[in-house]
Amino acid sequence: MAATKPPVIRISRVTKSYGQGDSAVHALRGPSAPGTGEPLGVSLDIEEGDYVAVMGSSGSGKSTLMNILGCLDVPTSGRYLLDGTDVGHLDESRLSLVRNRKIGFIFQSFNLVPRTTALAQVELPLAYAGVRAAERRRRALAALELVGLADRAGHKPNELSGGQQQRVAVARALVTAPAMLLADEPTGNLDSRSTAEVLAIIDRLNASGRTVVVITHEDEVALHAKRVLRLVDGAIVDDVRRAPVDGPPPALAAEVPA
């Protein structure tokens, strides 16, 4: 019998606190221990190929969870394994390496470099990883082709629409073949047409086997996910499976005739 593959993400009893003693703020706390009220931490597994939306209002802990999942911050306590690597206690240089190799980031604000072509933007993570120029170009052009922007490779951000800029950001996130795509409010700055285009791309990427985690407050975005988590006061209060991990995301499944 084949061994079961471990989850891409496994966090166990993770907490994040700011301050100490009675003045400590528990941004991520999980359920409370009976009797003492001490935070027990958040535990969560995300399987390879899943598409998870993390929802919550301001102050719910979703941004803190995103920062920990993205290796932008470390937990106060608990354990985090990303694609089998225990990242909870890595130093900053090793965290940076993990971010570059295992996580593709898509941000609300695109985070593109001004006066730099789309091709050069997508090549950046490969340059940081030491990939040779010819290979960088080949892989960056393939990523731009995947998001339908091969014909815009020589264009700079001010020559692209908001939707096109976000698609460049998606290509940049994909180019290192990361274990996880982490999208933080990816459609927050887009109009309805561009939102639909970007979500359709993310749906197709997930259907091809990419693991996707989306941080969002928009129900429209969450409807594309196979699993929806809701956070309140630093704890997961709702965890709803909307589609199987190994099937297509709901929006694509709806397009398939019965």
Residue 94: pLDDT band with limits 50, 70, 90: confident
CATH of the domain at 154: 3.40.50.300
In 3D, which of 60, 36, 19, 43 has the Cα closest to residue 231?
60
Reported as a pLDDT band with limits 50, 70 and 90, residue 89 is: confident
Task: Report the pLDDT value the prediction gives residue 1, as an integer from 0 to 100.
Answer: 47
Domain membership of residue 214 (yes or no) is yes
Cα dist. 210→47, 64, 78, 117, 128 in Å?
10, 23, 26, 26, 22
Residue 84 lies in a domain: no
In a domain, 140, yes or no: yes
| H runs (alpha helix) in 208-249 | 219-222
Confirm whether 34 is domain-assigned: no
Q: Does pLDDT of 2 surpass 60?
A: no
CB 43 within 8 A of CB 79: no
pLDDT tens by residue, 194-247: 999 999 999 999 999 999 999 999 999 999 999 999 999 999 999 999 999 999
Specify whether the CB–CB gap between 125 and 100 falls below 8 A.
yes
- Give, in degrees to the nearest 5, the angle at Cα 61 between 13 and 58: 170
pLDDT of amino acid 253: 79
129: pLDDT confidence band, cut at 50, 70 and 90? confident
Q: Which residue has the higher pLDDT, 87 or 21?
A: 87
Range of the domain at 132: 50-76+92-245
Whether 196 is in a domain gets the answer: yes
The answer to whether 8 touches 82, Cβ cutoff 8 Å, is yes
pLDDT (0 to 100) of residue 153: 95
Residue with the larger pLDDT of the pair 8 and 21? 8
57 within domain boundaries = yes
Closest alpha carbon to 166 in 194, 141, 193: 194
Residue 203 within a domain: yes
- Three-state DSSP class for residue 44: strand
| pLDDT score of 258 | 42
Residue 101: inside a domain: yes
Cα–Cα dist 152/156, whole Å: 9
Q: Give the count of domains, the chain.
A: 1
What is the average per-residue pLDDT within 46-68? 93
Question: Would you place residue 255 in the very low, low, confident or very high pLDDT band (cuts 50, 70, 90)?
Answer: low
Report the alpha-carbon distance of residue 25 to residue 43 in Å, rounded. 19
User: 211: alpha, beta or left, given left = phi > 0 and alpha = psi -120 to 50?
Assistant: beta
**Looking at per-residue confidence, does 181 or 88 come out higher?**
181
pLDDT digits (tens, 9 = 90+) for 112-121: 999 999 999 9
* Per-residue pLDDT at 3: 53
Measured N-to-C along each axis, helices 162-174 and 118-128 cross at an angle, to the nearest 10 degrees, of 30
Q: Report CA torsion sign: 150, 153, 159, 162.
A: positive
